[in-house]
Structure 1
Amino acid sequence: MDAELLHSYRAGKLMLFVGAGVSANLSLPTWSELTAHIALELGYDPKIFSTYGTPLALAEYYKRKKGTLGPLLSWMDREWHKPTTDISTSEIHRLITLGRFSRIYTTNYDRWLEMAHDKFEVPFDKIANVADLVSATEGQRQIVKLHGDFDDGNSIVLDETSYFHRLNYDSPLDIKLSNDVLGNSVLFIGYSVSDINIRLLFYRLTEMWGRSVLPSARPKSYVFTNRPNPVTQEVLGQWGIEMIVSEEDDPKKALTAFLQELVS
């Protein structure tokens, strides 16, 4: 375990960024299942439809054809939150909840992080919009939903237009993120380091650090993965982001073991 990472964690100066890989631990629907559902609703063969564009573009097409994402978001909410899912069985969510993380940011839409905090009786504030920022409790754990929340359909970043708008990085949540990253290290878990959308997020964070008074003194940040990639490791390294690579092939086992070592 990296000594600087441990020091940041123990000092309460480590922010957590949680991606889709953490939700996959709960066997939630994948992007391919989502686009297959879109295809069937619009009368297309799922395999053929998936070749017509990225998931963002396909969701954009759905919105154009249906006039709204409402029915799709309702389906997602039901499929992502089945009553048969028991959050107490997720060791990853337990470790995240009980960990000493100064903030938890997530690009996931689902409520399982919040449900885990309720289950393990850890107080938190959910931050998904300006109103949430105003009513947040001083000193309490914050779960910041950077790409929206099912409780507010208008906040969901799913189609291409909403994603491109999100890339402006000028919303109140982005201003909060800019402020939070200046004094904290960041640990990314559950992300594919080859995903261009995530790499853009890494780059944006680097820009935020670069605009600070002392960019050379920015805290080191990390991304955990179980897939070695020397090219990505070099590129992220120049942005001040260190890759932590597990030798465990199974992503669930790898992340669980890493969090157990960090949190304990």
Structure 2
Amino acid sequence: MNVDIKHFEHIIKAADDNSLAIFVGAGVSKSAENETTKLPTWSDLIEELKIDLGITYELDYLKVAQLYFLEFGPHTYYKKIKNYFPDNLVPSKIHELIFGINPHCVITTNWDCLLETSVLENAYIYDLVCSDQDLMKSSLDKKLIKMHGDFKNHNIVFKEDDYINYEFNFPLLSNYIKSILSTHTIIFIGYSYSDIDIKQIIKWAQNHTSIRPPMYLLVYENDVVQSRYLASHGVQTLMAGDYNGGGYSDYRTNKLYGFLKSVKDKKVSSSVDKSVINIVFAKLAELGTLNAILADQITSCLGECYIVYREVEHRQVALLKFYRNEVTQLQNAELREIYAKFKRIIKASDDTGEHKNLLGPIFDILQKADIAGVICDDEDKEAVLTRDMATIPVRK
């Protein structure tokens, strides 16, 4: 199985299990820019602060922010930063897709209001948490957490002291996020390899537990050294360049949209697949308690199918074949369509491993009836074996 596909499927499963958390960085907010309004990068903001401070030598971003706060005071400090984040920005399709995936929680280091605006406009059921007080009052299971505060609460995390004292200033929030890191599959989007927020979060995860679900960082360029560094800290990189975009002019925004759209579409497809598998299993469930089953009992319970004998691995075996275009006395078009989807699912499962745990009980029942496999194509040339769910060629 392709490694990236395996990771992708794990993300889908986590979303289905209500154990997916998406961390949202500044790169996501860039998707809301328009011709007249641009959002600054962190380096842009720091350069503006350095100009006001009259310094050119300092490279430590957190220290520059701290120096500005000390030099000009809190009022000027907040006003200066707030001026770069207008209130009239409209959430993009990417913000909607994030919640469309239905993660258990969305955690952002951004100060803007784009995510919560998307929640309000689309009636997503998420509690907004910007402080320890918000967390104490939160009653919904799903949460949008602004872990670096916001301008409304006057508690943004930006300068050196904010990072050093974070766990003191946000004790409940920091512990809650640590618990999420220990129990949830994590996707970081809108962050770079060297983002200081990524480093802080990774360090939290390492210090809290050594056994945890996967963490993924969506990246746009393949940097082998950086990827190896992140892998050593438990973070797997996923290439966004593998996904088709949504018509944005910005390359990164385009690829981010493509990735999120793929996750959402696959999640919907996975849900449909599970429904099909459940329908097939429900038809056979009453046979599951029997020690021995006749092939006729299988075809009788399922309907729209029959037994054929084909050569598999140099011997004649019984295979289950579903009707597709054959004319029969009692044709059920709806059931035939379900079985057509079922054949596609079992064939795909051999490549991806998806749904094998759900398909197992069905194949166990077929094995009890000495049915060696299921014909999975309309040309009668391939079958999925019941013993190991492998797809193999068959001969008449």
TM-score (norm 2): 0.58
- In the alignment, what sits opposite 2:46? 35
1:196 is displaced (CA, Å) by: 4.3
- In the alignment, what sits opposite 1:80? 85
Paired residue secondary structure (2:201):
helix
1:86 partner letter: V
- In the alignment, what sits opposite 1:19? 25
1:116 partner letter: S
1:253 is displaced (CA, Å) by: 0.9
Identity of aligned residues (%): 25
Check whether the contact 2:130–2:150 (CA below 8 A) recurs between aligned residues.
yes
- In the alignment, what sits opposite 1:122? 124
User: Following the alignment from structure 2 to structure 1, what is the Cα–Cα distance between the partners of residues 173 and 264?
Assistant: 27
TM-score (norm 1): 0.84
User: Following the alignment from structure 2 to structure 1, what is the Cα–Cα distance between the partners of residues 63 and 21?
Assistant: 31
- In the alignment, what sits opposite 2:273? none
Is there any run of 5+ residues in structure 2 with no aligned partner, and where? 34-38, 243-249, 266-396
Check whether the contact 2:25–2:191 (CA below 8 A) recurs between aligned residues.
yes
Paired residue secondary structure (1:51):
coil
1:263 partner letter: K
User: Following the alignment from structure 1 to structure 2, what is the Cα–Cα distance between the partners of residues 194 and 188?
Assistant: 13
Compute the RMSD of aligned alpha carbons. Answer: 2.2
Q: Deviations over 1:32-55 (max 9, x none)?
A: 33234324544x3xxxx3532323
Change beyond 3 A, Cα 1:62–1:243:
same
Paired residue secondary structure (1:137):
coil
1:200 is displaced (CA, Å) by: 3.4
Mapped pair 1:52 → 2:61:
no
Q: Deviations over 1:154-197 (max 9, x none)?
A: x2111112222227797211111122222211111011112344
User: Following the alignment from structure 1 to structure 2, what is the Cα–Cα distance between the partners of residues 62 and 198?
Assistant: 24
- In the alignment, what sits opposite 2:228? 234
- In the alignment, what sits opposite 1:113? 115
2:17 partner letter: A
Q: Which moves more between the two structures, 174-183 or 107-116?
A: 174-183
Count how many residue pairs are aligned between Structure 1 and Structure 2: 247
User: Following the alignment from structure 2 to structure 1, what is the Cα–Cα distance between the partners of residues 65 and 206?
Assistant: 29
Comparing both chains, which one has the higher relative contact order based on Cα–Cα distances under 8 Å and sequence gaps of 6 or more? 1
Is there any run of 5+ residues in structure 1 with no aligned partner, and where? none
Change beyond 3 A, Cα 1:178–1:35:
closer
